Amino acid sequence: SRNYSISRKKTQTLVNKIAELHNVYTRYSLNKEIDIRRTPKTVNEQVPYNLDKLRLAIEEKKKVRFIYYSYKEKHKLIPREKDGVIREYIGSPYALFSKKNCNYAVLNMDNYNRLSNYRVDRMKEVVVLKEDAKSLKEIWGYSQGLNIEEYAGKCFLMFVGREIKVTMEINKSLLNSIFEELGDQVKISKKDQGSDTYLATFSANEGDGLVRWVLQLGDKARVVAPDSLVEQIGDMISAVEKRYQIED
């Protein structure tokens, strides 16, 4: 099945076409209940076509070329540049997955030996090239293939980094959130009998995405291991505290 976000303009067009098939009361109800203004929408009209091209490239094991965009003020998409020139990205795609209502393409970019995630709604001018894609076996850590469900579960805020094993103390109130985010890969055990504190153990990709996700849990969670992650979280807390210091 396909799962992708379309623009607000196309959403309204589809709603209008569906409404035309019904009576005046149904048309009023459809337009009243489907409030597309409050639903996150991409401004990129190329998303469905990009997904088809990426799927084709994955099936045919071919490289793709595309231009990657970033959001600026007023929801405008601006192409990324290097030295004042619009940058073209060329890479080997291996999979597509959806997380938190966004579609991501997993690629290995030329001249790198790791995987990267790119949001499909920020890709434009996608072209399937004749050049064969790099074999996944050549990517460090993926000689046995790519389990996309496990991979997606380890990417926090879609940052890709070194895989680490995380142990975290969590309050009982976070159990539902932890299971919803991490699924079957997380192991939960009670820290002490009669306590509301649990130990959560899971694998994740190290980086800013993981740090930010942990901090979203507030004072109901504390990372116990590894020390490198504890240090990164401490650095982030210090940086945030510094930003909010009031000067006399």
The pLDDT, as a whole number, for residue 39 is 44
The pLDDT, as a whole number, for residue 27 is 46
For residues 201 and 186, the answer to whether their CB atoms sit within 8 Å is yes
Ranges under pLDDT 70 in the chain: 1-44, 73-75, 154-161, 247-248
What pTM was estimated for this model as a whole? Answer: 0.59
Enumerate residues 6+ apart whose C-beta is below 8 A from 185: 150, 153, 154, 202, 203
**Residue written as tokens 């690629």?**
107
The pLDDT, as a whole number, for residue 32 is 47
CA triple 216-164-140, angle to 5 deg: 125
Residue 230 is inside which H or E element, if any?
helix 227-243
Burial of 104: CB neighbours in 10 Å, binned 0-12, 13-18, 19+: buried
Residue 113's SS3 state is coil
> What tens digit of pLDDT does each residue of 118-137 get?
989 889 999 999 999 999 88
Kindly provide the residue ranges of all beta strands, DSSP E only, lying in the chain, ordered along the sequence: 62-71, 77-79, 81-82, 85-86, 88-99, 102-109, 116-119, 123-132, 163-171, 187-190, 197-205, 221-225
The pLDDT, as a whole number, for residue 17 is 56
